[in-house]
Amino acid sequence: MAQSTSPKKSVFVTGANGYIGSAVCRAFVRAGWRVYGLIRRPEAAGTLYSEEIIPIIGSISTDATFPADLAKHTKTLDVIVSCTEQIPFGAHYDAAISLIRKLAATSNAHGTRPLVLASSGCKDYGTTGTHGSPGLAPHTEASPLQPMDIIKERAFGCPKIFEQKDLFDAALLRPTPVYGYDSSYYGLAFELAASAARTESRVLEIPFDFGTIIHGCHIDDCAEAYVALAEHADRDAVAGQCFNISAARYETLAMIAEALKVEYGLRDVVRAPNGVEADLSAYVALGHSQWVDSSKIRRLTGWTDKRLPFWEGLHVYRMAYEEAARRGHEGVLRVKERVGNVHRMAYEEAARRGHEKR
């Protein structure tokens, strides 16, 4: 006698070959969902297929045909995940909302109202104090938004997702920085340490307070949080809410510095002399002090982080990063370019000071 089975739930993920988007796709695949991933370049389709993700070719901002292409596969979507962003953010956000509304309208017409999980980031809240500073407290979902200028459009634009109640329910997710595999901004730590290890002094100088709180989350743990919200039985408890995603414990720059010292055989890791500046990428990775509370999603869904903290698993995270570099991963190449810019700026500043002394 044949068993009756309920239809597989379906999810559509924008930015499916990006750092967070690809991890979110894989997490939904592991959870048994039918996963559609939006990518811009046809040559990236093979990578998605290798992960058992169905690629949908198109662009949020310029392509009006791919919703019809998606409709060849499915008319309904249980969940839509937005994992893309651009600077400037405003026009990109408007295009993303327009697309989501088209997909949701089609899904509604065929009997399914989607849940939209929109991605922003915990840097929307600004900074907290450093480790041990008086009155130190974590950012929660109730904290005021105090972003850097460069992400103001994102921070204040993303909550507008809640204004679309006619077609879909929505939740806004704010992950901390994420690491693992090709490492995203954390790759800067590896590149800076490797560069210092090649110098005669073997000393790594970092231009930030070593009490800086580096609160991250492994990319797989982050992606599982998206699935936890999508599968939560009470849609009303998820809809209209913001959720922070962070590891249970934060690390400090001092902890990471010591791990880098041991891993790369450095003589020392020290704070750079006053006046030595770093570019924005280095600040984002190592200088932005922020403690982020994620108890809200933990209480609601039971989600928890499982992977080793960055400093504790640094060796294997380094090996994964270097393997990604060997394969020419584009994310790693971007990190290497940023580190090159850091060193170029430091060299130019040192040369300028030398000239002034003469």
Q: Residues 22-51: pLDDT tens digits? A: 999 999 999 999 999 999 888 889 999 999
Q: Which residues of 286-320 are buried (b: 16+ CB within 10 A; e: fewer)?
A: bbbbbbbbbebbbebbebebebebbbebbeebbeb
Strands 10-13 and 34-39: parallel
Q: Residue 145: what residue type?
A: L
Mean local confidence (pLDDT), 160-189? 94
Asked whether the predicted pLDDT for residue 345 surpasses 70, the reply is no
Asked whether the predicted pLDDT for residue 220 surpasses 60, the reply is yes
The whole-angstrom separation of Cα 97 and Cα 161 is 8
Asked whether the predicted pLDDT for residue 6 surpasses 70, the reply is no
Mean local confidence (pLDDT), 81-101? 84
Distant-in-sequence, close-in-space partners of 91: CB < 8 Å, separation ≥ 6: 61
Residue 173: beta bridge partners?
119, 243
**In the chain, where does DSSP find H-type helix?**
19-30, 45-50, 66-71, 89-109, 152-157, 187-197, 219-230, 235-238, 253-264, 280-282, 295-301, 314-326, 330-357
Asked whether the predicted pLDDT for residue 340 surpasses 70, the reply is no
pLDDT of res. 67: 75
The whole-angstrom separation of Cα 57 and Cα 240 is 30
**Taking the model in full, what pTM does it have?**
0.90
Tokens representing residue 116 in the block: 């939209």
Q: Residue 344: what residue type?
A: R
| Between 280 and 142, the higher pLDDT residue | 142
Number of Cβ within a 10 Å radius of residue 169? 20
Asked whether the predicted pLDDT for residue 263 surpasses 90, the reply is yes
| Between 270 and 279, the higher pLDDT residue | 270
The whole-angstrom separation of Cα 251 and Cα 11 is 33
| Between 69 and 325, the higher pLDDT residue | 325
Output phi, psi for 159, to 5 deg.
Answer: -60, -15
Confidence of residue 84 (pLDDT cuts 50, 70, 90): confident
Asked if 311 and 251 touch (Cβ cutoff 8 Å), the reply is yes
Confidence of residue 283 (pLDDT cuts 50, 70, 90): confident
Averaged confidence pLDDT in the chain? 89
Confidence of residue 349 (pLDDT cuts 50, 70, 90): very low
The whole-angstrom separation of Cα 321 and Cα 13 is 25
pLDDT of res. 115: 98
pLDDT of res. 65: 64
Angle 183-136-152 (CA atoms, 0-180°, nearest 5)? 55
The candidate with the shortest Cα–Cα distance to 238, out of 101, 115, 122, is 115
Confidence of residue 262 (pLDDT cuts 50, 70, 90): very high
- 116-159 residue pLDDT tens: 999 999 999 999 999 999 999 999 999 999 999 889 999 999 99
